[in-house]
Amino acid sequence: MRVTPLLFALAAVAACATSTTATTKTSASGPAEPTPEEKPTMNDRKTDGAGNQAGVETPESSFVPATFTAAQLTTWCDAALAHAATLRGALESGKPTTSALLDYNELMRVLDTPNGWAALLFQVSPDADVRAAADGCKQRLAKFGNDVVMSRAIYQSLAKEDHSSATDEARRAHRLILREFKRSGVDQDDAARDRLKAIFERMVLLGQEYQKNASADVRYVEIDSEARLAGMPEDWIAARRPKAGEKLRISTDYPDYIPLLTYCKDGELRKQLAIAFAARGYPQNEAIMAEVLTLRREYATLLGYPSWAAYNAEDKMVKTTETIEKFLIELEGIVRPRSAADTAELLARKQKDEPKTDGFAVWDRFYYLNVVREEKYGYDSQETRQYFP
């Protein structure tokens, strides 16, 4: 089990705002409204090929993040946060450069790029220092983003704008952005806001710790004889063949795990590796998960929701937990008979190899799916491998 990055609340907002074409007029207390021909829109922001505003120095236009060292990543993240802080200041001053909605959209864009790269590098970089820098960048971006959606000044700048004559997209973006601020606690009293911020920051930290524990916990199954690898591709075996006197080690990393569960004829070996794979991050992550669940409930309750599930569903297409439950019940009625038939077919094929067996386990699934596809349809997955090196 893995926990996805927790609650980077601005992601949904950015998705809505990025494509917005805003035609904006301010309230009576604001500056005079421009004529329709004068109103700036999202499309009026001249950009280069990467989507950066022409004439505006942005950190995301300076480097290719995939090649970053830890120091470069940290510097890049610092620059993005500094740029975002400038945009935030303009919004909080109540004097947007164009409109609060457009400026907020620009702020989301500035935060989104480094957040995406930091999340990716945290997961895939082979350099431990880069992963650590990405971890720190993600935490700082998450805190900054949460501070933004907890800012009463920014909320008020957005709320006072009248978008009634704007495009459908702009009105929708405006409505959803204001909702996201309320879902973050902008309208709560000071004590509740302080607690919500503390919970959010703790959940971000716990989520990253959970991921680190699972990713770093590489486990191994050792075997004495290559005979146990019957069915495995020869190039896969050759790449893992040990030195004389050493045992062959198979890891829980995906390049080992998926092929072994797909091709290896030794059911006991498949079982050993599957159990090791499922245990990654245990027992450290058990306490983390328990704390996350407790914090989620408190967070939702402070905001007036009956549960975290209700809070989490609200801004999704599904909207309510009742709709989720209804959907799952209906889906089960459709897929369970088909699943039972598929499992029975796979079990029958397994019984040709093991006549006395009456069970079909998770470590049998990939292997017997592959066997049945080959026998029933003539599909050879090992032949297909040559086209996907």
Residue 95, domain CATH: 1.20.1050.40
222, 350: one domain: no
Give the pTM.
Answer: 0.77
219: left (phi over 0), alpha (psi -120 to 50) or beta: beta
Residue 283, preceding bond cis, omega within 30 degrees? yes
Same domain, 182 and 222: no
| Span 75-79, average pLDDT | 95
Which pLDDT value is given to residue 381? 84
The answer to whether residue 304 is domain-embedded is: no
Asked if residue 184 and residue 222 are part of one domain, the reply reads no
Instruction: Please report, rounded to a whole number, the percentage of residues in the chain having pLDDT higher than 70.
Output: 83
| Whole-number Å distance between alpha carbons of 336 and 357 | 22
Residues 98 and 26 in one domain: yes
Is residue 237 domain-shared with residue 146, that is, in the same domain?
A: no
* pLDDT score, position 383: 84
Q: In degrees, to the nearest 5, what angle opens at C-alpha 123 toward C-alphas 10 and 234?
A: 145
Final residue belonging to a domain, choices 137, 166, 188: 188
pLDDT (tens digit, 9 = 90+) per residue, 146-200? 999 999 999 999 999 999 999 999 999 999 999 999 999 999 999 999 999 999 9
Q: Tell me, what's the pLDDT at 25?
A: 37
Do residues 328 and 226 share a domain? no
Q: Is residue 202 part of a domain?
A: no
Q: 225-267: per-residue pLDDT in tens? A: 999 999 999 999 999 999 988 999 999 999 999 999 999 999 9
Q: For residues 20 and 163, state if they share a domain.
A: yes
Whether residue 166 sits in one domain with residue 222: no
pLDDT of residue 64: 62
In a domain, 272, yes or no: yes
Domains contained in the chain, number: 3
Of the pLDDT bands very low, low, confident and very high (cuts 50, 70, 90), residue 65 is confident
Res. 387 pLDDT band, cuts 50 70 90? confident
Q: Are residues 387 and 252 in the same domain?
A: no
147 and 259 together in one domain: no
Task: Residue 11: name the closest of 132, 138, 97, 168 by CA.
Answer: 138
Domain of residue 331: give its range.
317-389
155: in domain: yes
Query: Phi first, then psi: what are they for 47, rounded to 5°?
Result: -130, 160
Residue 385, token pair as written in the block: 């491998």
Residues 222, 367 within the same domain: no
